[in-house]
Amino acid sequence: MKKFLKPIEPLLDKGLNTAESFIHTHRKVNFFFGAVFEAFDGLIRNPKETAQSPPFIRHNYDVKRFMGAVLVALVCGWVLPAIYLYGWQCVVPKLIVSFVAGVFIADFLWVIIAREEHIAEGGFVTCLFIPAILPPQAPLWLIGLGAALAIIFRNILGGVGNNLVNPALFSRLFLTICFPAFLVTGYQMPLIGTQGIHTVPQGLDAVTHATPFTAFKTSGEVASYLSLLLGTATGSLGETCRLALILSGLWLIKVKVANWRVPVSYLGSVFIFSVFFSLILGKAVAPPFFQLLSGGLILGAFFMATDPITTTYNQTAKWIFGAGCGFITVLIRDFTTLPEGVMYAILLMNLLAIPIQSLMVKIRYRL
Amino acid sequence: MKKETMGFKGGFHLLDAYPLPFCTIIDEISSDGAPEQFQFPVTGQKIEHVIVNLCPTEPWALPNWVILKHKTAAFLSMLKEIKTSYFSDARFHLAINEKEDRAVEDAVNFARAEDWIKVIPLCAKYPQDDPVILAQVLLGMDVSFGQDIKSLGILIVDAQTVSAMYEQGIMRKDVNSRYVVLSGTGLRENEIIRAELGTSVEKILKNKVKDASTCRVFMNGPLRGKEISDFSQKIDWSVNNIVVFEEKSRKVLFPMFKADELAFTTSLLGELRRCVYCNFCDDICPVDLEPALYYHSYIRGEKHKARLYNMGKCIECGLCSFICPSKLELLKIIRECKALDKHE
């Protein structure tokens, strides 16, 4: 790779420098294409800033690598298994639509209108979540709308670093309210006949099936744990293959992108509270291991709840955050008619993270 | 004596991250005028604890083998003579890098027969050799940053100072030169030189720098040291090393394949972003602070509030700014907020 790049390097560098100076000298070009160029330039070139105040040496780790690690984990965690389970015809068009609508349309337009934000790799993470948390047979326009909504919502709150709640989940909440029909149906059985490419844009196909949790709520039937773990049970596109999600989640924890406290406390509290309610109410509520392995819990615990921006900064408060997520998830699953509670739990705790954080700071520093 | 693992939470293994090879060639550089003399570090205060620091944690600092020459026992008998002549009622604590097995073994064997010295093998992660951390880990004493530790009866000396004390105090010889480590990407070669005290930096770096126009020079390391712009400045005993970095103030193509080229320069190695609450700064902080809180108070304009979060404990090691993936100037913010404290 290095050898291959060497001959084109001086040429590319010169070309980029010329383009940069051209863009900066022409105001109208800068207005429309400045941000696009900046984003592209930022991807392949190191910025020229140097340390002007001590320490004069900096670690070779930046937000790009941080977000890159999340992207790698997501691709291994859900994109590859989903391609195997549902066929590439189902996954690839959704990804393309999500990226085009989210990053290349919503983010670019926002940068041109608002001029404050930079186009950054955070948008790719959000847009990679959108198809994962929607049903496999969701129509493409729904995916595009979701991605655009997520990016616009995130940018309105001030971009990466300022968002109050997870933008992908907020967008799913919005879609759940506006288009409930698409979110309660469209759960296709995996490995049963891939969609033909011509049926992809319309979404809804013939063979649909209730998700394991809906099936439990209507008939009390518990899906086999092995099928839940390996992804042969129904569910949203990205949440079915729990084994891959757990492995890539553990890798994220190992490279210290995800904080281990959140998944441990989230999954732990789901287990504890479901054991507690099972002991009291018996068969009326879902058994603990079924709770752990069904729905979006694994995806939510390893990838969504650990999003560092929307959790608390304080490390002790992360335990409370995770435990709160688990408690709300179990409450919604066991005592409401909603089929799944992970999204509501994480969104609610994202908002509650702010008072938890200030409370922990007050306790810790005795203010 | 069992191997104790003492230490602190956080910190960073700089020695592993930036392995610097040194050749053994040692230049002698003499000053232009009359060289200055080494000042014996004790001036009348009563010293209860002497900490001998054989645990340099920065790769650009003077390695132990230059002074010890792999003869730890000889060094320790030198130390014994200093103790009997000058610090007869002080306790000695020998902080030694646990990875240097032979030196640790020699020291432990030596200390078995002596009751005045205690050998403590330490993990050489930065900032283990900071006075505040050393006093806390070795003596269990709370020292605040910037406090005069000699007034507390603690003397911290490194290997080179011990050997100078021996030569001046016991052998009655003049000590007017010291080892200075020259390293960095701006130099042709990493070197250890012996320079007379009072030599100017300009003279030391003569013919050693690659390109003088794109270099920045730091005294005592890029993390804790100062940048020097006046090269006629003379070196004194406190100068342990001089680091010269290339200033990469141009855009570099494909940084992901050029980690080694960029790593040891002043480059920020990333874009300035907002805080993403990644918890890297409080994981690495050696004194258990939460530096991002200072940043958030600072950008809200509440500098006074930042001081409430235990800011006095900060030892200004610079690790939070070093590790920050958003490349925030946390140390600068901390210093600014601390300065506010002094004005009142």
pLDDT along chain B (344 residues), means of 10: 59 88 76 76 78 90 86 88 86 89 89 88 87 87 84 88 88 86 88 88 86 86 88 87 86 79 84 89 91 92 87 90 92 90 62
User: Which DSSP helix (H) or strand (E) runs through B227?
Assistant: strand B226-228
Residues A297 and A253 in one domain: no
Residue B153 to residue B266: CA distance in whole angstroms = 38
- The Cβ of residue B173 has, within 10 Å, a number of other Cβ atoms equal to 11
Q: What is the DSSP string of A5-71?
A: HTTTHHHHHHHHHHHHHHHHH-HHHHHHHHHHHHHHHHHHEE---B--SS-----S--HHHHHHHHH
Predicted local confidence at residue B2, as pLDDT: 40
Distance set, CA B104 to CA B14, B23, B65, B94 (Å): 21, 24, 13, 10
Burial class (CB in 10 A: 0-12, 13-18, 19+), A186: buried
User: Which DSSP helix (H) or strand (E) runs through B94?
Assistant: strand B91-97
Residues A185 and A322 in one domain: no
What is the distance in angstroms between the Cα of B126 and the nearest Cα belonging to chain A?
Answer: 13
User: Which DSSP helix (H) or strand (E) runs through B117?
Assistant: strand B117-122
Closest Cβ–Cβ partner in B225, B265, B309 for A365: B309
Residues A137 and A25 in one domain: yes
pLDDT in tens, B201-244: 888 888 888 887 888 999 988 988 888 888 888 888 888 899 99
Q: Would you tell me the crossing angle of helices A140-156 and A167-178 to the nearest 10 degrees?
A: 130
* Tokens 């309105």, residue located: A156
Residues of B in contact with A159 (CB under 8 A): 274
Residues A277 and A232 in one domain: no
What is the distance in angstroms between the Cα of A269 and the nearest Cα belonging to chain B?
Answer: 23
Residue B84 to residue B86: CA distance in whole angstroms = 6
Residue B110 to residue A53: CA distance in whole angstroms = 44
Residue B177 to residue B38: CA distance in whole angstroms = 8
Which residues 303-322 of chain B have a CB within 8 Å of chain A?
Answer: 308-310, 318-319, 321-322
In this structure, the strands spanning B154-158 and B226-228 are unpaired
Residues A237 and A318 in one domain: no
The ipTM, to two decimals, is 0.87
Predicted local confidence at residue B342, as pLDDT: 65
Residue A11 to residue B253: CA distance in whole angstroms = 11
Residues A236 and A328 in one domain: no
Domain end residue (candidates: A257, A283, A318): A257
Burial class (CB in 10 A: 0-12, 13-18, 19+), B78: middle
What lies within 8 Å, CB to CB, of B106 at 6+ separation is: B72, B73, B76
Which residues 162-221 of chain B have a CB within 8 Å of chain A?
Answer: 216, 218
Residue A57 falls inside a structural domain: no
Interface test with B, best of A60, A310, A314, A357 (most B CBs within 10 A): A60
Do residue A314 and residue B290 have CB atoms under 8 angstroms apart?
Answer: yes
State the DSSP code for B48.
Answer: -
Closest Cβ–Cβ partner in A60, A160, A313 for B292: A313
Residue B295 to residue B330: CA distance in whole angstroms = 7
Closest Cβ–Cβ partner in A60, A309, A365 for B263: A60
Closest Cβ–Cβ partner in A55, A62, A309 for B277: A309
Nearest residue of chain A to residue B321 (CA atoms): A55
User: Which DSSP helix (H) or strand (E) runs through A353?
Assistant: helix A342-365
Do residue A58 and residue B309 have CB atoms under 8 angstroms apart?
Answer: no
Which residues 7-26 of chain B have a CB within 8 Å of chain A?
Answer: 17
Say whether residue B299 is in contact with chain A using an 8 A CB cutoff: no
Predicted local confidence at residue B144, as pLDDT: 85
Predicted local confidence at residue B302, as pLDDT: 87
Residues A241 and A274 in one domain: no
* Tokens 């688990």, residue located: A326
SS3 B121: strand
Nearest residue of chain B to residue A47 (CA atoms): B251
Give the closest residue to B181 by CA, choosing from B204, B163, B202: B204
Cβ(B189)–Cβ(B26) under 8 Å?
no
Cβ(A168)–Cβ(A133) under 8 Å?
yes
Residue A214 to residue B78: CA distance in whole angstroms = 80
Closest Cβ–Cβ partner in B226, B251, B329 for A47: B251
Do residue A53 and residue B331 have CB atoms under 8 angstroms apart?
Answer: yes
Residue B328 to residue A71: CA distance in whole angstroms = 23
Domain end residue (candidates: A257, A291, A309): A257
Distance set, CA A11 to CA A262, A314, B18, B202 (Å): 47, 47, 32, 38
Predicted local confidence at residue A198, as pLDDT: 57
In this structure, the strands spanning B215-219 and B241-246 are antiparallel
Say whether residue B336 is in contact with chain A using an 8 A CB cutoff: no
Residue A51 falls inside a structural domain: no
Closest Cβ–Cβ partner in B249, B257, B269 for A58: B269
Residues A81 and A172 in one domain: yes
Domain end residue (candidates: A219, A234, A257): A257
**What would the two tokens of residue A213 be?**
């949790």
What is the distance in angstroms between the Cα of B262 and the nearest Cα belonging to chain A?
Answer: 8
Half-sphere exposure of A307 (CA within 13 A, CB side): 27
Residue A10 falls inside a structural domain: no
Residue B75 to residue B82: CA distance in whole angstroms = 11
Domain that holds residue A321: 260-367
Nearest residue of chain B to residue A158 (CA atoms): B274
Given CA atoms A185, A187, A193, A198 in this order, what sign does their dihedral have?
positive
Predicted local confidence at residue A261, as pLDDT: 94
What is the distance in angstroms between the Cα of A27 and the nearest Cα belonging to chain B?
Answer: 22
Say whether residue B331 is in contact with chain A using an 8 A CB cutoff: yes
Greatest alpha-carbon span in chain B: 61
Residues A187 and A305 in one domain: no
Do residue B252 and residue A58 have CB atoms under 8 angstroms apart?
Answer: no
SS3 A230: helix
Interface A-B, measured as beta-carbon pairs within 8 A, has a size of 168
Give the closest residue to A188 by CA, choosing from A251, A246, A233: A233
Number of structural domains in chain A? 2
Angle value at C-alpha A293, between A289 and A295, nearest 5 degrees: 130
SS (H, E, C) B152-215: HCEEEEEHHHHHHHHHHHHCCCCCCEEEEEEECCCECCCEEEEEECCCEHHHHHCCCECCHHHE
Nearest residue of chain B to residue A9 (CA atoms): B253
Residues of B in contact with A314 (CB under 8 A): 290
Do residue A66 and residue B278 have CB atoms under 8 angstroms apart?
Answer: yes
What is the distance in angstroms between the Cα of B103 and the nearest Cα belonging to chain A?
Answer: 31
Do residue A45 and residue B292 have CB atoms under 8 angstroms apart?
Answer: no
pLDDT along chain A (367 residues), means of 10: 77 88 86 82 84 88 89 94 88 93 88 75 90 90 94 87 90 93 81 60 58 82 86 87 94 93 96 94 87 91 93 93 95 87 94 94 88
Residues A102 and A197 in one domain: yes
What lies within 8 Å, CB to CB, of A178 at 6+ separation is: none
Residue A59 falls inside a structural domain: no
Residue B35 to residue B178: CA distance in whole angstroms = 11
Residue A333 to residue A90: CA distance in whole angstroms = 29
Residues of B in contact with A365 (CB under 8 A): 308-310
Helix residue spans in chain B (DSSP H):
14-17, 64-68, 72-86, 101-113, 131-134, 159-165, 201-205, 259-262, 280-284, 291-299, 303-306, 319-323, 330-343
Residue B269 to residue A61: CA distance in whole angstroms = 7
What is the distance in angstroms between the Cα of A54 and the nearest Cα belonging to chain B?
Answer: 6
**What would the two tokens of residue A222 be?**
């518990």
In this structure, the strands spanning B215-219 and B226-228 are antiparallel
Domains located in chain B, CATH noted: 14-31+44-170 (3.40.50.11540), 178-251 (3.10.20.90), 280-343 (no CATH)
Residues of A in contact with B272 (CB under 8 A): 47, 49
Residue A13 falls inside a structural domain: no
Cβ(B292)–Cβ(A313) under 8 Å?
yes
Q: Which amino acid is at A340?
A: E
Residue A4 falls inside a structural domain: no
- The Cβ of residue B318 has, within 10 Å, a number of other Cβ atoms equal to 25
Interface test with B, best of A14, A63, A306, A357 (most B CBs within 10 A): A63
Residue A297 falls inside a structural domain: yes
Residues A240 and A199 in one domain: yes
Residue A159 falls inside a structural domain: yes
**What would the two tokens of residue B331 be?**
């140390």
What is the distance in angstroms between the Cα of B21 and the nearest Cα belonging to chain A?
Answer: 18
| End-to-end CA separation in angstroms for chain B | 50
State the DSSP code for B53.
Answer: E
**What would the two tokens of residue A287 be?**
């058994």
SS3 B12: strand
Say whether residue B264 is in contact with chain A using an 8 A CB cutoff: yes
Residues of A in contact with B254 (CB under 8 A): 5, 9, 44-45
What is the distance in angstroms between the Cα of B325 and the nearest Cα belonging to chain A?
Answer: 4
**Residues of B120-144 as b/e, b for ≥16 C-beta within 10 angstroms?**
bbbbbbbbbbbbbbbbbbbbeeebe
Residues A276 and A193 in one domain: no
State the DSSP code for B233.
Answer: P
Angle value at C-alpha B135, between B167 and B103, nearest 5 degrees: 50
